[in-house]
A and B are shown apart, each in its own frame.
Chain A
Amino acid sequence: MSTEYQLVCGMEVHAELKTASKMFCGCKNDPFHAEKPNTHTCPVCLGMPGGLPVANRTAIEWTIKLGLALNCKINLFSHFDRKNYFYPDLPKGYQISQYDQPFCYDGVLETDAGAVRIRRIHLEEDTAKLLHKTVDGKKVSLVDFNRSSVPLIEIVTEPDIISPEHAKAYGKTLRQIMRFLDIADCDMEQGGMRLEANVSIRPVGQTELPNYKVELKNINSFRFLEKAVAYEMERQACELNEGKTPIQETRGWNDNKGETFSQRVKEDAEDYRYFPDPDLPPLRFTAEQIEQWRAELPELPAALKQRWQEMYGIDTKYADVLSEEKEGASWADQLFAAAQKAQLNPNAVANAVVNKKVTAAVGDSVQQVLAAFTALHQTANVDEAELQHTIDAVIAENGDAAAQYKAGKVQILGFFMGQVQRKLGKKLDAQLVKTALEKSLS
């Protein structure tokens, strides 16, 4: 008898903030569009002697706003810490990060697949980028500091994720919120958003956390994340069933093979010798300041969808699609308002747009879209008695079909609708005809 397992998974997501300048210096924050390597640099982000960091206010404000959007508590006293370790992409020999006093903690993010508690959100600086190349026949490692000290937020969850789909839903919802806040582009291909999942499994019913965890890293799409978590669950179940404990390690995803692979085995917990960065004074916020930032938050997807439901009766399935991107959502919002004003059914318009019955792209004039929609649904007024008379006639002429409908072949209703419209010689509101037909046929 094989044991049934359940997933225990928490995520760490890094995202680069799209502030104009870097986290601790005035250099341009645009690592992906720089013309050449090492052009957006200065003594500070190069870690030169005497270079000193000065914190980017906007980055701090955005981090706290994300925390508020994720229902976090905010530390009114906070500071930056040094995380000491050596790596060629880290010019100072330490990364400025936050250790025991992150800006945000104890939040929760609701997703379609369930809630995920947020443990903490902190702000740090990104590292430089290493490029391993062959130059003049020699294998060399090059360093590009354009990314060095770009503001980077890290969002850490509790191990609340219960399925691969849940992991994907969490990542997508988080990205959507960051895009709504307009604080991060979250370009996964280029590493503007990086996903890490800590995956382990335990027998169903067990409540304590497993004594191991596998870190899935360097995954650059939500689809790969979902696949990798699913694969890991299988792999770990095999190991556990053989009486082994999966080793503590970092694994990556190979999509060609459809499997995870070992990248690095962690033997000891590293000691980063964290201590408060003496170059950066501690930060104090007032409750009023936090409330002001809360008031400045834009309408977020969940609230937007609820409002659409209440004001316009938009179905969740359409709302989900139309609210995915911030720009699209605000366009759809205008579209619904205009539809309502024109006494059209906004949900029908949403349906038409989502199902591409009308060709509409974000940014198109909403009036044009509504005109197309109206053309699509041009209906004539019809006298109720006349309609009923026509329906009765059509049913009488098509006794066989009526019998088939009654026997359960409901899709034949379409045939009747066509017949009724033809007989009347008018294009009618389909819903109206459908309801009347259903009533007469039953």
Chain B
Amino acid sequence: MLQTLTLADLLGKLKRKEISHKELYADLAQSYQQNDKLNIFLTFNPQAETESAELSDKALLGIPLAIKDNFCTTDIRTTASSTVLDAFVPQYDSTVTRKLKEAGAVIQGKTNMDAWAHGSSTETSQYGRTLNPRNPEHLPGGSSGGSAAAVAADMAIAAIGSETAGSIRQPSAWCGTVGLKPTYGRVSRYGVVSMASSTDSPGPITKTVEDSALLLNYIAGHDPYDGTSSQTPVDDYTKALGQSIKGMKIGVIYMDIPGLAEVKHLFEPQLKVFEELGAHVEYVQAMDPNHAIGVYTVVQRSEVSSNLARYDGVRYGNDRSFFGDEAKRRIMLGTYTLSKGYADKYYVLAQKVRTLFLEDFAKLFKTYDLLVSLTSPGFAKKIGASESSAMFGELEDMLVEPSSITGLPGLNVPCYHDPKTNLYLGMNIMAPMWHESRMISAGDAFEKHTNWNPWRAQ
């Protein structure tokens, strides 16, 4: 059962030599049996255990991590869940995986995702959908659905995902895990298969807030290989753990969105937890997130149409006919929104509205230390739900899209559990840019003060 340990606990036990890598991998191997059913990992690293044994003197002591399959990993196949890259074995590491390896982590395998990260369900994966380990009749969310499911299924101690608009937080909400989307530019994008370059943000998906803070410490920071990565100094995020949030002003947003009715009454009582912890909680009006769907759709499709141009059939073996329907839809829409005569109407206009969102958040953060909303408008949807709606992801991710297009950091923490379905609701805690520590403090306090986190509750 060692695979059910949190990252912090596992590190402690390994350090104190209470357990061995061998025992850990034996337990993990047991858990891997679920993969046939849940389809979480696309590729396992057969060398993981051997590699772990050699790293016990490093900070991360050879702990295995599940990595979303859009991170390039040396000698381990990287597909971004598209058969276009079916045979692609990178000869280089993404900055995130390189840093983690240097800190002593091992890649246990690569997790399923929506193809090219296009989607919020894993149903656009060309290697089949992942099932939600909490309830296999339901979806895990996406696009980092495999990473969230790996953690939820205890097939991984912790995982790495990436978010363009919701892709870390939404699957974390649906799978009942913690997901941290850092400020845009906080974690390097180098070596991550580009989706929408102006919003892509790699981040951890973990069992606890503490584990997210721990991993963020290793992956955050300026990278000379990424021109958009920031030189802003990096905090020690673990120092934000166990901190009082007394006196903090928390604004609650997006409570009047139609479609929230089903879950609003379950979410509202959770806000009282912050008051019990000494924070001031207020409902406040933010710019309508519906507008973010339009902005995000146009900007993201435009960037996607250009970012996917390199898969032109000259290399990687498989040509453009291997693109799935969702990728084709996005390429076509993005090509259209960038075309002469339409770019002003769509792309340029979208960028202007994006600025309005930036201004709106700047105004809100003058009054509030943090903003809080639901992460997803409901519980995990049933399998097949995405197939009838081309805009499925955008509607699912509406509540996180405004913070994504403005580069804000956000943290999903489980905030409700339905015992009948075994499904979770997630709370989205947003901070001003570069203030991950603040949301970690609030998320950690919430997690420790409630019983919603399944690993804390144990």
Contacts and interface: CB of A to CB of B under 8 A. Distances in A.
Interface of A: 43-44, 47-55, 82, 84, 86, 88, 91-94, 143, 271, 273-275, 277-281
B228 A281 contact: yes
B30 interface: no
Contacts, number: 96
B241 interface: no
B302 interface: yes
Given A82-B306, A94-B306, A49 B227 contact: no
B53 to A, nearest CB: 29
A49 B316 CA distance: 10
A49 B87 CA distance: 13
Contact of A273 (B78, B90, B198, B343): B343
A354 B312 CA distance: 56
A273 B339 contact: yes
B335 A273 contact: yes
A48 B90 contact: yes
Contacts of A94: 306, 309
A273 B347 CA distance: 11
Given A43-B92, A48-B92, A49-B193, A278 B303 contact: yes
Interface in B77-97: 78, 80, 85, 88, 90, 92, 94
B281 to A, nearest CB: 36
B347 A275 contact: yes
B192 A93 contact: no
Nearest to B189: A52
A49 B198 contact: no
Nearest to B224: A54
A55 B227 contact: yes
A103 B269 CA distance: 56
B228 A279 contact: yes
A54 B224 CA distance: 8
21 contacts: A48-B90, A49-B90, A49-B310, A50-B70, A50-B94, A51-B191, A52-B194, A53-B227, A54-B226, A54-B227, A84-B309, A84-B338, A86-B312, A275-B347, A277-B197, A278-B197, A278-B198, A278-B303, A279-B194, A279-B197, A279-B227
B457 interface: no
A275 B343 contact: yes
Given A49-B72, A54-B225, A55-B227, A43 B191 contact: yes
A52 B225 contact: yes
A51 B194 CA distance: 9
Instruction: Pick from A47, A143, A280 the residue with the most CB of B within 10 Å.
Output: A47
Given A50-B194, A82-B306, A88-B314, A281 B80 contact: no
Contacts of B227: 52-55, 279-281
Contact of A275 (B80, B90, B306): B306
B218 interface: no
A271 B309 contact: no
Contacts of B224: 54
B340 interface: yes
Main secondary structure of the interface of A (DSSP, over half): loop
B146 to A, nearest CB: 18
B190 interface: yes
Q: Which 5 A/B pairs are nearest by Cβ-Cβ distance?
A: A93-B309, A278-B198, A278-B197, A273-B338, A50-B191
B306 A91 contact: no
B306 A93 contact: yes
Contacts of A91: 310, 314-315
Given A93-B310, A279-B197, A49 B226 contact: no
A49 B335 contact: no
Interface in B182-198: 189-194, 196-198
Interface in B50-105: 70-72, 78, 80, 85, 88, 90, 92, 94
Given A54-B225, A279-B197, A47 B310 contact: yes
Contacts of B305: 84, 273
Nearest to A270: B340
Contacts of B306: 82, 84, 93-94, 273, 275
Nearest to B192: A50
Given A52-B226, A273-B338, A278-B197, A92 B310 contact: yes
A275 B305 CA distance: 11
Nearest to B93: A50
Contacts of A48: 72, 90, 92
Contacts of B196: 278
A172 B170 CA distance: 61
B72 A50 contact: yes
Interface in B169-207: 189-194, 196-198
A58 to B, nearest CB: 15
Given A43-B90, A275-B338, A279-B227, 10 more contacts: A49-B85, A50-B70, A52-B189, A54-B224, A92-B310, A94-B306, A271-B340, A273-B335, A278-B196, A278-B197
A91 B191 CA distance: 16
Interface in B278-295: none
Contacts of B347: 275
A397 B133 CA distance: 124
A49 B190 contact: no
A109 B212 CA distance: 59
A50 B78 CA distance: 11
Interface in B327-354: 335, 338-340, 343, 347
A50 B193 contact: yes
A278 B80 CA distance: 20
B191 A275 contact: no
Contacts of A53: 227
A379 to B, nearest CB: 66
A277 B228 CA distance: 11
A94 B192 CA distance: 18
